[in-house]
Structure 1
């Protein structure tokens, strides 16, 4: 069994298993919805692991989901105080998410996303910054939130993996989902396995990677990432903060935010799924 790190934070758990570092989103009561506190803890753990002898990092979620995406509950930053922010402040907040994800992109050790249950909206954005994504076959994956609250922040990054037409399909229909098998067919994920086998599959892959010396892994990752960067991956990620901040100033988004606050997130989701 992995050993639990004594420096565990509240929302992200770090466990070591030989050359593998397991980072677990541990907010199961909210389906591991991404809060800024959670992403800050993730960044702190990654900074610590840079100085460790870990060879590979695996990201996963506790409970029923990898992550339901950004926290859009009525008391969250995404909805609760949206009306108090200027467009510049909103853009800066979105850019902070990208900064946290870029820590994964630039992390010297390969990072595997082991995805099960639900992987929604911002969680797919996070997975796209990982080096390898493995999924459970029955995983439910959605590029856009179940309630349309933004535009152009997440789905453009999908274009790099699945092509623009599929990215548009996933973006235009609020909460449009695909399963793990389809995610592999489209190119979003590397492999799909039965949910019961996901942890061992990710472990076996990580152990295979760990046989390669750390310095070689680091340079291989840097070289391949550079190709994506030359094709504009990080530029597009940064532009998304601008377009989302713009759309957040519109009456349509204000109406959506009020809907969530008035009837609750579950009822708002049901409205769009119906």
Structure 2
């Protein structure tokens, strides 16, 4: 999806009973840095308190989100920002997952890592045929965060979730649909398909739909919070490994990493 250039890293547009929340750092494929995460959290809270019934989460430019901003990660040499950022990610994911609205994640182009976790926190994931979908933390010797373990296990089961995480492979929309990672793949006129789905929801008794969501969220929220905490602890350990340092070095040098299991 494309809009005119704006300085905000997250753009919110209200249309009647629907709100569109657009990630807006297209020059870096909407990579999520600390500033963008904070702005997204603030704006999601505003949307949660609004009178809309349907929320569409999407990305500006060539993709939904390539994931966490690696350059931003590298700037945190002493690790002082790690814990506050992970806590902010947890609050962001809980805010999105428990939002008393019907949330549709409309993804296209690169949707990877934390970007994929973010998309999966929505109630319904609709993907354009251009989508390149990957839970690719493993490529730099990290583990999923943003609730990635929780959402994948809920959608595909424990065994397949492990395989998807361990392989870190790129999938197209139809491959992801076949595995149950997303809910719909669209071949053409993606924006129209998103509008049509939102319109269908708005013609239904949304209060009853949202009440079902609230019940299921209340039942599962404690499990998600536990996973988010475990991911924070696990990610901290992984960042200290030699394999992670090698993964980052290989990424920067544009070569294949050589891992030693340390």
Fold conserved between structures, TM > 0.5: yes
3-state SS of paired residue (1:176)? coil
Q: Any conservation in 2 of the 1:32–1:66 contact (CA below 8 Å)?
A: yes
Residue from 166, 180, 187 that aligns with 1:172: 166
Q: Residues 144 and 155 of structure 1 are in contact (CA less than 8 Å); yes or no, is this contact kept in structure 2? A: no
Q: 1:136 to 1:57 in 2, by over 3 A?
A: same
User: Any conservation in 2 of the 1:32–1:68 contact (CA below 8 Å)?
Assistant: yes
Flag the 1:45–1:92 CA change in 2: closer, same or farther, 3 A: closer
Tell me which residue corresponds to 1:27. 25
Using the TM superposition, give the Cα deviation of residue 251 of structure 1 relative to its aligned residue in structure 2, in angstroms. Answer: 2.4
1:85 aligns with 2:79: yes
The equivalent of 2:140 in structure 1 is 148
Q: 2:185 aligns with which of 192, 196, 209?
A: 192
- Alignment CA distance shift 1:70-1:110 (3 Å): same
**Cα deviation 1:61-81 (Å, max 9, x = unaligned):** 1111011011113xx1x2222
- Give how far 1:214 is off: 5.3
Q: Which has the higher contact order (CA 8 A, sep 6+)?
A: 1
Following superposition, the deviation at residue 57 of structure 1 comes to 0.5
Mapped partners of 1:197, 1:235: distance in 2: 39
Q: Does 2:111 align with 1:119?
A: yes
Q: Which runs of 5+ in 2 are unaligned?
A: 258-262
Query: Residues 155 and 46 (structure 1 numbering): CA distance in 2 closer, same or farther, change over 3 Å?
Result: closer
Q: How does 1:30-179 map to 2 (within 5 A)?
A: 30-73=28-71, 76=72, 78-81=73-76, 83-85=77-79, 90-145=82-137, 147-153=139-145, 155-157=148-150, 158-173=152-167, 175-179=168-172
How far apart in 2 are the matches of 1:203 and 1:185? 23
Q: CA deviation at 1:105?
A: 1.0
Query: Cα RMSD over matched residues?
Result: 2.5
Contact 1:92 1:241 in 2 (8 A): no
The 8 Å contact of residues 101 and 126 in structure 1, kept in 2 or not, is answered as yes
Change (3 A) 1:101 1:9: farther
Partner of 1:252: 243
Cα distance in 2 for partners of 1:190, 1:259 equals 34
- Between the aligned partners of 1:118 and 1:189, the Cα distance in structure 2 is 14
For residues 47 and 153 of structure 2, the distance between their equivalents in structure 1, rounded to whole angstroms, comes to 30
Structure 1 unaligned segments of length 5 or more: list them.
none
Pick the aligned partner of 1:10 from 8, 11, 30. 8
